[in-house]
Structure 1
Amino acid sequence: MSLCSSAIEKSCSTKTYEDVKDYYGKQLGNTKDLKTSACAAPSKPLPTHLKDALDNIHEDISSRYYGCGLSVPESLENCIMLDLGSGSGRDCYMLSKLVGQKGHVTGIDMTDEQLELSRQYIDFHTEKFGFQQPNVEFIKGYIEDLKAANIKDNRYDVIISNCVINLSPDKKAVLREAYRVLKDGGEIYFSDMYINKALPAELKENKLLWGEGIGGALTWKELFHIAAEIGFCTPRLVTARYITVNEELKNIVGDRKFVSATFRLFKVPQDAVKVKSQAVYNGGITGYEDKLEFDANFTFKVGEAVEVDQELGRILKRSRFADKFSLQEAEKMPCSESSHPIKETIGDPFEFAEAESNGAQSSCSGDNFEGGRCS
């Protein structure tokens, strides 16, 4: 897990970083050693292409997986990708299969034990996926200072991170670096832990809470503020679920609640025109040939016009999804083709998780799908 560079070490709590290295490098033997339900399996069935990729990951890699979600966005063929805090390498190897031989995946991590493990299986997965040469690499570095790891500006199509950013005491530095190295139209798609009310300062310094990702968990509103300050589009909630903690942690944190939530943040040029649009999904994305659940608020069925907010229209037009959608300004669409009016979007992951726990299909499926929005 990646935390702090030597260049900014003096402004950080060195002990905290060393504690996290020790926790993930030495104390945790496998996923079962964690004290929260963060690493529970996804609640929904995986698309076939993702399940096939995961099934081909070596058991030694999968057993040391400490993520809190499934950080795999759509339309990844030929993409250049970066995994912040790559750990054992499970997500990197899965992504290497999805991007294909012409794509490339870089994993960056600060923990020597994790890097040693992930590098051992490069040849295994290259052969397993039928590639002529490796399309994945693992480098040592710190996610607050990617420049020190020689990661250049405007390099990546997509960045992922899986339950790592919550371990960093400087989330703004992490997201600022992500913004720098993303191409225009690029995306950071990440799962993380969030808290419903902030911890007092003394608990944020608790070694166990930091290791479990709780000590550094943001509130979702803090994420939105940081993203806006850096220049990202508004974070778009994909999914969320409650995380349970064991009695040891519950006695420390009291009645606070936690969710594992996945957000997608896009880097779209500021001069991109914002207009209310109708978006029609044309299909063509592997695993999502008939329907694309873009986030918690928008699901697109092939051939159906959906009215999208100005920012989403800008994202679809200027990102890797541009050739997968047809967009037209809403006021120019014939009345017969207009979709249902835009409803208030869900950004609060606790609201989403509560609906899910009560049995509501907040993911815009089945009878709740109406005009591309959750009804």
Structure 2
Amino acid sequence: MADGPTAASNTAVSGVYNDVKEYYGKTLKKTSDLKSNACVPSAKPVPAYVRKVIAEIHPDVVAKYYGCGLVVPESLECSRVLDLGCGSGRDCYMLSQLVGEKGHVTGIDMTEDQLEVARKYIDYHTQRFGYKKPNVNFVQGYIEALAEAGLEEKSYDIIISNCVVNLSPDKASVLREAYRVLKDGGELYFSDVYSDARIPEDLKANKVLWGECLSGALWWEDLMRLAEEVGFCKPRLVTASIITVGNKELEKLLGDYKFVSATYRLFKIPKGSEKKSCLVMYNGEITGLEESFEFDAQYNFKVDKEMEVDDDVASILSNSRFSGEFTFQHQHSGLKTSSSGGCWDKPKAVSVNPFELVQQLGSASVTPSTGGCCGDQQACCQ
């Protein structure tokens, strides 16, 4: 196997790959070996149905898990899912239960030591979940070069990644390859570490800082730019939590740079799709979310309650796997008309800056963008 992607074969990039392999394959033996708090728990409570499936995963797989946040997309039944940087396979085995026996999960990682753990327990989990045959497989390769690993164009419904993109020396290629292998309407749903400014080269060269997911972190504004350049819709911020490094030596090296763990969802919408704001109503049929569906930090859809969505979200919902989960009430002659003749919910006014979002959530200052709907029926429906 080649030392890395053809387009990224220079000495510096190869050095990053080797350092990461060494750190996650040899240096770290278990989660407690991490030297910082970068890999933080999810900012949102873990749903009961997710806790249940995680409890079914072999303890050895869980012990070698180094992710941040929790990456569990909704409406997974029968989906084809790809996990970028799958490591020991914890998230793959979790998702393999949620997609069901008719779905499939592929994990890709460049670290053979991690993949050895993941592959060791394929038969164990197949029997544990009551499947006739495995619905998960693991591939050794680079997340910047999915084609070289044999992953075909437009072959996945959903891609996840958990605290891995920051470890890549070529993040633009990661996003381009993710876009390529996603089907139209597909989603990249991922948790990662972001910085409040671009990290300088001298800090990027520090092996421990890079291995701890800190010095390789993208400036969050660069994520917004790169995602749209590749072709994704504007990234939707789901949740965020501040990272406290928790290591005085590393904190001294990092100086004033701040970090956040954030989950984003990026959708690949078919070219030329109509974008028009409208009213939608959630039908409550997504497993585990029968009463409400928190799509991102801005939109929380309540069952059988209409909500106004902007043109981006309307396009995402109508062109993705969520299209059958909503009733769409489109605009007519410039007016939004409620099917019930009554009021509808408005989205929250939240910052696209994950650092500001943490402050907003902490101060409980997040409110509907126009104060809610509706005391004045005529004003709301224009």
2:325 counterpart letter in structure 1? K
Q: Which moved further from structure 2: 324-333 or 100-109? A: 324-333
2:187 counterpart letter in structure 1? E
Partner deviation per Cα, 1:341-360 (whole Å, 9 max, x = no partner): 5564431111112234x353
Asked if the contact 2:279/2:338 (under 8 Å) is kept, the reply is: no
Residue 337 of structure 1 deviates from its aligned partner by: 3.3
What is residue 110 of structure 1 aligned with on the other side?
110
C-alpha distance in 2 between matches for 1:278 and 1:345: 20
What is residue 171 of structure 1 aligned with on the other side?
171
C-alpha distance in 2 between matches for 1:322 and 1:213: 35
Residue aligned with 2:289, SS: coil
Q: Which moved further from structure 2: 283-292 or 212-221? A: 212-221
Provide structure 1 residue ranges, at least 5 long, that are not aligned to the other structure: none
Asked if the contact 1:108/1:140 (under 8 Å) is kept, the reply is: yes
1:136 counterpart letter in structure 2? V
Residue aligned with 1:146, SS: coil
State the TM-score, normalizing by the size of structure 2: 0.91
Asked if the contact 2:42/2:69 (under 8 Å) is kept, the reply is: yes
What is residue 294 of structure 1 aligned with on the other side?
295
Q: Which moved further from structure 2: 236-245 or 332-341? A: 332-341
What is residue 243 of structure 2 aligned with on the other side?
243
Residue 227 of structure 1 deviates from its aligned partner by: 0.7
C-alpha distance in 2 between matches for 1:238 and 1:263: 5
What is residue 352 of structure 1 aligned with on the other side?
357
For residues 222-371 of structure 1, what are the structure 2 equivalents within 5 Å?
222-245=222-245, 246-330=247-331, 331-334=335-338, 336-340=341-345, 344-356=349-361, 358-360=362-364
2:50 counterpart letter in structure 1? L
Q: Which moved further from structure 2: 38-47 or 112-121? A: 38-47
C-alpha distance in 1 between matches for 2:60 and 2:174: 29
1:201 counterpart letter in structure 2? E
Asked if the contact 2:162/2:190 (under 8 Å) is kept, the reply is: yes
1:302 counterpart letter in structure 2? V
Residue 220 in structure 1 maps to residue 225 in structure 2: no
Residue 47 of structure 1 deviates from its aligned partner by: 1.4
What is residue 34 of structure 2 aligned with on the other side?
34
Residue 208 of structure 1 deviates from its aligned partner by: 1.1
Residue aligned with 2:317, SS: helix
Give the alignment's Cα RMSD to 1 decimal: 2.0
Q: Which moved further from structure 2: 119-128 or 33-42? A: 33-42
Structure with larger Rg: 2
Residue 92 in structure 1 maps to residue 97 in structure 2: no
Partner deviation per Cα, 1:107-151 (whole Å, 9 max, x = no partner): 000001001010000011111111111000001010111000111
1:348–1:265 CA distance, 2 compared to 1 (3 A): same
What is residue 148 of structure 2 aligned with on the other side?
148
Asked if the contact 1:25/1:114 (under 8 Å) is kept, the reply is: yes
2:326 counterpart letter in structure 1? F
What is residue 379 of structure 2 aligned with on the other side?
none
For residues 171-190 of structure 1, what are the structure 2 equivalents within 5 Å?
171-190=171-190
C-alpha distance in 1 between matches for 2:311 and 2:342: 18
Q: Which moved further from structure 2: 149-158 or 191-200? A: 191-200
For residues 39-50 of structure 1, what are the structure 2 equivalents within 5 Å?
39-50=39-50
Displacement over 4 Å in runs of 4+: 340-345
C-alpha distance in 1 between matches for 2:31 and 2:309: 40
Residue 36 of structure 1 deviates from its aligned partner by: 2.1
Residue aligned with 2:261, SS: strand
Residue aligned with 2:64, SS: coil
1:180–1:199 CA distance, 2 compared to 1 (3 A): same
State the TM-score, normalizing by the size of structure 1: 0.93
Partner deviation per Cα, 1:321-374 (whole Å, 9 max, x = no partner): 000001121424149434355564431111112234x35385x89xxx956xxx
1:241 counterpart letter in structure 2? S
1:61–1:361 CA distance, 2 compared to 1 (3 A): farther
Asked if the contact 1:232/1:267 (under 8 Å) is kept, the reply is: yes
C-alpha distance in 1 between matches for 2:222 and 2:11: 21
What is residue 17 of structure 1 aligned with on the other side?
17
1:317–1:271 CA distance, 2 compared to 1 (3 A): same
Residue aligned with 1:51, SS: helix
Residue 27 of structure 1 deviates from its aligned partner by: 0.2
Partner deviation per Cα, 1:40-66 (whole Å, 9 max, x = no partner): 333443212111110111110101111
C-alpha distance in 2 between matches for 1:12 and 1:146: 21
C-alpha distance in 2 between matches for 1:148 and 1:361: 47
C-alpha distance in 2 between matches for 1:22 and 1:277: 51
